[in-house]
Amino acid sequence: MLRTSSVRVLDEHDREAVHGLLDADPVGNVFVSSRVRATGLNTARLGAELWGYVEQGGIASLCYSGANLVPVNAGPTAVRKFAERARERGRRCSSIVGPIPAVNDMWDRLRPAWGPARTIRANQPVLELSEYPAVEPDTRVRQVQPHELSILYPACVAMFTEEVGVPPDSGDGGALYRARIAELVRSGRALARIENGRVVFKAEIGAVTPYACQIQGVWVHPEHRGQGHAVHGMAAVARWALSGVAPRATLYVNDFNTPARAAYRRVGFREVGAVMSVLF
């Protein structure tokens, strides 16, 4: 029988087809697209493999396989093929993230081999903003300077631990996580309000393409919550992002995080989709 479908690791020869798939949903695919645009498709530079589901000679779906496992434009057959490959290789990721139907199907197939997940976030609304916020931005939110990394880093650790449930420095002492935060600071994509040597509000622009950027790490110090810092801080971050980073700002949020969702609505973000995350 003629073989008409397969999964293979993609390389630079596949660049045009890959960008075509990613750019069809620039908001939903902002993370993978940002990584590919920054490093290309060489596995060593990408720090991950990009798998392609090839059907009738063309690349129909993608799956980013690195610290995260991220299916892109993956229907049931592609998900099955990607899950088979992931199961054969063993779990190397800390999460599976992507559209709810694809991730739910993929996890059903991987759970017997990979064991239980630590946490499942079954519905995380994806939000988008393409116009300046209507609320006033906090003028004290600004780009974090390199010499302030030691001030920002503890806030990032606190945010990550609160959001994910485990500290980011439990494995290698935080070397990789600290390097990532330092990279965001150097690139001018870490913003914060800092008072008396302590972060009051912070957020980072974690992924950037010509079409969209993704805001991450939104956090208000516990002693300053309920005072409007999230709304006006996010207004400042969104205005900054839309002023020159990308024409659309996006993020995703846990459906149970009612205060955050209310703050984002006040800023002007609207729901455009949803993702699911399986965390290990």
DSSP conformation letters of 252-277: E--TT-HHHHHHHHHHT-EEEEEEEE
Residue 56 has pLDDT above 50, yes or no: yes
195-206 residue pLDDT tens: 999 999 999 999
Band (4; pLDDT cuts 50, 70, 90): low
Note the pLDDT of residue 170: 74
**Lowest mean pLDDT: which of 1-5, 31-35, 38-42, 96-100?**
1-5
Cα(134)–Cα(33) distance, integer angstroms:
29
Residue 209 has pLDDT above 70, yes or no: yes
When pLDDT is averaged across residues 8-26 and rounded to a whole number, the result is: 96
Q: What is the pLDDT of residues 138-150, one digit of tens each?
A: 999 999 999 999 9
Percent of the chain with pLDDT over 70: 98
Single out the residue of 191, 209, 204, 206 nearest to residue 246, CA to CA: 209
Residue 3 has pLDDT above 70, yes or no: no
What is the C-alpha to C-alpha distance for residues 156 and 163, in angstroms, rounded to an integer? 10
Kindly state the helix (H) or strand (E) to which residue 204 belongs, with its residue range. Answer: strand 198-208
Transcribe 140-175 into DSSP letters. T-EEPPGGGHHHHHHHHHHHHHHHHSS-TTTTTTTH
Q: What is the mean predicted confidence (pLDDT) over 9-35?
A: 97
pLDDT of 164 reads 87
Give the mean model confidence (pLDDT) for residues 220-237: 97
* Predicted local confidence at residue 1, as pLDDT: 42
Render pLDDT for 106-150 as a digit per residue (tens, 0 to 9).
Answer: 999 999 999 999 999 999 999 999 999 989 999 999 999 999 999
